[in-house]
């Protein structure tokens, strides 16, 4: 079997079209234009690329976007003051602090992120939003796992009743993915760095999600014939070479559908962020 390649740009385009319609709807219903503030601290070149990309996508969809560049030397308290200002600013609907934070304040990451008003938390990382996801009434959901589910839906891939296996248990990908798949009635196993006999577990998956950050780790012998393979990993193995967590060349021979890297899940994340900005704007007018 040769897998269907799930091209991120096709799905991202559909999600962005929906978002564009959402922007128009809010404009005409409430007379406001949704807006996003992205806070970037320091000079991390990869972060700058991500932030530019988010800004560009906002502009493309008619969402107002403000990039707040802060110096590497900023203290935790100064950064929190900036977040407080954005929390109080009625013109701002979504707030995102680009990670990673510089080494000097990295240890305070949780405190800093938790300071964001949960109704403006478009990354969906605040304990309030995590709690809502876990209890089955999600509001702002982390963009990458939400994008994966949206892609499966748009591709017409059934989730209900399927065996799903996730490799990785991070707060950003693995854990929210567990709750999203479970809420859609999949039977889900989460694997991590202490899992024994990983290939035995992954071979049970109808839907296999790789989110571990290990280049080309998932090989064909770890995949059941006909499985749907979602590769969240983004690993830079040379200055201009990105690969996923899945060994694409061998796994595409056995899977029924697979996401490529680059050009797969990564493109969905920004598109879902736009949807979260719209959702946040709606939450704030109600």
Q: Which residues bind ligand NAD (CB under 6 A)?
A: 144, 167-170, 172-174, 191-193, 195, 198, 211-214, 232-235, 265-266, 269
**Is residue 54 flagged as an active site residue?**
yes
Which residue among the candidates 54, 150, 224, 279 is catalytic per the annotation? 54
- Shortest Å, Cβ 25 to ligand NAD: 26
The catalytic residue among 16, 117, 120, 123 is 123
**Long-range contacts formed by 69-78: CB under 8 A, 24+ apart:** 69/40, 70/39, 70/40, 70/41, 70/42, 71/41, 71/42, 72/41, 72/42, 72/43, 72/102, 72/104, 73/104, 74/41, 74/105, 75/105, 76/105, 76/108, 76/111, 76/112
Strands 228-231 and 207-210: parallel
| Residue 162 designated active-site | no
In sequence order, the β-bridge partners of residue 4 are: 257
Q: Which is nearer to ligand NAD, 173 or 277 (CB)?
A: 173
Is 98 part of the annotated catalytic residue set? yes
Q: Which residue is nearest to ligand NAD (CB)?
A: 170
**Cβ closest to ligand NAD, residue 94 vs residue 168:** 168
Distance of closest approach, residue 178 Cβ to ligand NAD, in angstroms: 11
Two tokens, residue 73: 């030397």
Residue closer to ligand NAD, measured from CB, 33 or 235: 235
Residue 220, burial from CB neighbour count under 10 angstroms (0-12, 13-18, 19+): middle
CB of residue 78 vs ligand NAD: minimum separation in angstroms? 26
Task: Quote the least distance from Cβ 56 to ligand NAD, whole Å.
Answer: 16
Catalogue the active-site residues.
Answer: 54, 98, 123
């Amino acid at each position: 079997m040769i897998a269907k390649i799930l091209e991120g740009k096709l799905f991202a385009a559909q999600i962005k079209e929906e978002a564009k319609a959402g922007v128009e709807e809010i404009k005409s219903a409430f007379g406001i234009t949704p807006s996003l503030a992205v806070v970037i601290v320091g000079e991390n070149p990869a972060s700058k690329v991500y932030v530019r990309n988010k800004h560009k996508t906002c502009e493309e969809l008619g969402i107002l976007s403000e990039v707040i560049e802060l110096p590497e030397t900023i203290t935790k308290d100064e950064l929190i003051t900036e977040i407080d200002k954005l929390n109080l600013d009625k013109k701002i609907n979504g707030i995102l602090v680009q990670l990673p934070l510089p080494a000097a304040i990295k240890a305070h990451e949780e405190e800093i992120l938790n300071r964001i008003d949960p109704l403006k938390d478009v990354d969906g990382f605040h304990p309030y939003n995590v709690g809502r996801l876990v209890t089955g009434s999600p509001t702002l959901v982390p963009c990458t796992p939400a994008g994966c589910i949206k892609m499966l839906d748009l591709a017409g891939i059934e989730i209900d009743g399927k065996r799903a296996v996730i490799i990785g248990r991070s707060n950003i990908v693995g854990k929210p993915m567990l709750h999203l798949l479970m809420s859609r009635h999949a039977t889900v196993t989460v694997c991590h760095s202490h899992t024994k006999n990983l290939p035995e577990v992954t071979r049970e998956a109808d839907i296999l999600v790789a989110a571990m950050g290990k280049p080309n780790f998932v090989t064909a012998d770890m995949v059941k014939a006909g499985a749907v393979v979602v590769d969240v990993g983004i690993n830079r193995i040379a200055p201009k070479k990105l690969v996923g967590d899945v060994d694409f060349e061998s796994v595409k021979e056995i899977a029924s559908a697979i996401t490529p890297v680059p050009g797969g899940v990564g493109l969905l994340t920004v598109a879902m962020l736009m949807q979260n900005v719209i959702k946040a704007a709606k939450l704030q007018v109600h």
